[in-house]
Structure 1
Amino acid sequence: MNYTNPFDLFSDWFNKAGETTIDKPNAMVLATISSKQIPTSRMVLLSSYDESGFVFHSNYASHKASQLSNNPHASLLFWWDELGYQIRIEGQIDKTSDEESDQYFSRRPRSSQIGAWASKQSQTVIDRTALEQQVTQYTQKFEGDEVQRPHFWGGYRLKANLFEFWVNRESRLHDRIEYQLKDNEWQKKILAP
């Protein structure tokens, strides 16, 4: 792992994961903190990444969105069992621009666009039928028209300040490499397993 830039190592591993039979190599755990200081984790999908950060999308009225508005510090975790690789990333999250969110939304399958309108994420629903009725309602509403991004849905970007790369090894003597951003430079160190 002779990389000075953690984004290069991330790209290498992410591409390797994409070449395997892993169903969703872009699936990651997003951990946030509630207003009561309780950690909360859930799976989200990585939409894109570059050195400016790691982007995912969500409903702005979801529990995760509420938690991020109160405390923008969060972490991501990728685990690719087939490779024995784990990557933990810490940083601060901001919303992406409306333009970025619009561009991503326009590339989503129409059924997912309709779903963004129909699902009031994290709100209580009576039953599955009620959700399906919402989908039908919005499908009819947008019939023959382009589905615009709802104002309550868009992207988030985690700007990384710490990476930990972990490789599974025998006898639990795993490899751990940490990169921490200090004074705009990545400091690399090896951690004991």
Structure 2
Amino acid sequence: MAANFIGPVLVTTGNFVFPKVEMELEVGRKAGVSAINEAIGKFDGQIVLVPRMDDLKADIPQLDDIAKVGTLCHVKVHKTHEDGTLAVSFHGQRRVSLTKLNEGAAFYSAETEYLAEAELTEEAEQQLISRIIDSLQHILDVHGAVPQNLISDVSGGLKATQIIDKLAQFLPYLTVGKRQEILEEADPVKRLDLLLEGTSQGK
């Protein structure tokens, strides 16, 4: 199968950007800055974000330590600091599988394939929304708080898959490993199960 996107990769140390979610970050590492400049200069701002899954002891991760599923994003630079650090925002577009990861002289690049999103019937969508509402109560019971913007999203008409991804993005109790599991999971029902499992472990 032909790659859907071939281009620069930004390897993060625990930061995630889920589809349909926007995240602001400061990027200062030389490889990251180079990848962003390449994305803006040659790929219309398109870049793949993927986390490293090792213990972070090494300054530069090995290829085997980089997750094989990430998010295709659009990146925008808001400010360049005097030391070269970039203040940027990433807007997640879709899940991608890295079929081939290359370590270049200045930054990583990859061949990727889009991951299919499960289609929900209207009935299944409503059932999942109901589960999400119940899940928020569970999270409140365990942790005592849920970010207010996430509560607003539930009543704001977002699709269930978008709400789950926003919860996975912004709930502070999830580990890097659990966020990656959620990112890799194609079934939104199983994503919610992983989310609840992660919030319970984070108590």
Taking structure 2 as the reference length, the TM-score comes to 0.29
Decide which structure has the larger Cα Rg and report it: 1
Higher strand share: 1
